[in-house]
Amino acid sequence: MPPDAALRVRFWGTRGSIPVAMTPAEIRRKLITALVRGAGRSLDTPEKAAAFLDGEIDFAVSDTFGGNSSCVQLVTGAQDYVLCDLGSGARVFGNDVLARHGSGGHTFHVFMSHVHWDHIMGFPFFLPIYTPSNRVRIYGCHAELEDAFRRQHAAPFFPVDFSELTARIEFVRLQPGREYEIAGLSVKAKLQSHGGDSYGYRFQRADRVVVYSTDAEHKQDDLGEVQGFVEFFRDADLVIFDSQYSLAEATSIKEDWGHSSNIVGLELCQRAHAKRLCLYHHEPLSDDQKLAALLAETRRLEEITRGDRRVEILAAYDGMEIAL
């Protein structure tokens, strides 16, 4: 894809806090549901079965939202790779790069929201770091950015020390509020409320804008702070937003846990005239049915609160791709 091609966003890990896997019981429920619905149908070829799943079976039954923790790729069309966060989804991404394009000669630009474990745990399993001809540039606003990655590799947590990684790995400290030109994108970071702080990123190329805003609590006590986020989301084509909790949870038993809700994401997008809201950093307790319900409810909320502009509502899943 040429560098002037449309921006695309690909999700490699969409789960919050900790990776999860479907249980055998969940898989069995999906199979039983699909088989019962297909009873009596002529589904005797893979093509017919696939068409049946695609056309007549709900996503929550035919597929899964997945369970890897945060990792999102901005596909720019240039040779370098651009990522947000290195949760367990980074392992799958790294394997995909190796399978498609070989093990060496790659450059990766990674923007870190913060260094909590679920956002860095994919790094030791990100195979490109073990090939000398690769370059990994890790950007972030935290003073402890490099130290966190090094400590994760230290004994007794991991058998390969950071000093043994053969790729060229560089850490680049960014200042929030300042605009940078990196990998063909204009990038600006914004401080967010989260334990130990987190940072959102606004990426722009030509007239296309993607905002990555995860692990952020919005108490909305300070209306000036709220307006700051409205401006950060302003006219975005896509806002990837932490919607781990319901608003009731976020304002009661899980207050100060550092996460937000679907309704706050929607309201910020409505006020900012953003085009799409993508629910992200899914609650690990939520199975596919619950996440599908969250998506349906958020779409309904958008319908009943819509002003003169519509916000398209999406829910991220591992493997999802969005063209902007």
Stretch that binds another protein, among 31-39, 110-118, 131-139, 240-248 (CB under 8 A): 240-248
User: Residue 287 or residue 318: which is nearer to another protein going by CB?
Assistant: 287
Q: How far apart are CA 126 and CA 7, in angstroms?
A: 24
Among 133, 220, 286, 289, binds another protein (CB under 8 A): 220
Closest distance to another protein from the beta carbon of 296 (Å): 10
CB proximity list for 280: less than 8 A, separation 6 or greater = 11, 14, 70, 214, 240, 241, 242, 243, 316
Q: How far apart are CA 14 and CA 2, in angstroms?
A: 27
Q: How far apart are CA 139 and CA 14, in angstroms?
A: 20
Closest distance to another protein from the beta carbon of 289 (Å): 16
User: Residue 150 or residue 290: which is nearer to another protein going by CB?
Assistant: 290
Q: Does 249 bind another protein (CB under 8 A)?
A: yes
Q: How far is CA 7 from the centre of its chain?
A: 16
Among 262, 277, 287, 288, binds another protein (CB under 8 A): 262
Q: Does 297 bind another protein (CB under 8 A)?
A: yes
Cis upstream peptide for 3 (omega within 30°):
no
Closest distance to another protein from the beta carbon of 179 (Å): 27
Cβ–Cβ under 8 Å, residues 301 and 263:
yes
Neighbours of 307 (CB within 10 A): 9
Q: In the sheet that 168-173 helps form, which strands lie side by side, from edge to edge?
A: 168-173, 135-140, 107-111, 81-84, 71-75, 8-13, 321-323
Closest distance to another protein from the beta carbon of 259 (Å): 14
User: Residue 97 or residue 263: which is nearer to another protein going by CB?
Assistant: 263
Among 95, 251, 286, 289, binds another protein (CB under 8 A): 251
Among 33, 151, 301, 312, binds another protein (CB under 8 A): 301
Among 84, 90, 263, 314, binds another protein (CB under 8 A): 263
Q: How far apart are CA 135 and CA 132, in angstroms?
A: 8
User: Residue 68 or residue 270: which is nearer to another protein going by CB?
Assistant: 270
Closest distance to another protein from the beta carbon of 281 (Å): 17
Among 242, 267, 283, 287, binds another protein (CB under 8 A): 267
Q: Does 244 bind another protein (CB under 8 A)?
A: no
Buried/exposed 158-186: b ≥16 CB within 10 Å, e otherwise: eeeebeebebebebeebeeeeeeebbbbe
Among 101, 168, 173, 300, binds another protein (CB under 8 A): 300
Q: Does 208 bind another protein (CB under 8 A)?
A: no
Task: Number of residues interacting with another protein: please give it, by CB under 8 A.
Answer: 22
Q: Does 264 bind another protein (CB under 8 A)?
A: yes
Inter-CA distances, 204 with 90, 268, 324, Å: 23, 19, 11
Q: How far apart are CA 119 and CA 192, in angstroms?
A: 15
Q: What is the contact surface with another protein in residues (CB under 8 A)?
A: 219-220, 223, 226, 246-249, 251-252, 261-264, 267, 271, 297-298, 300-301, 304-305
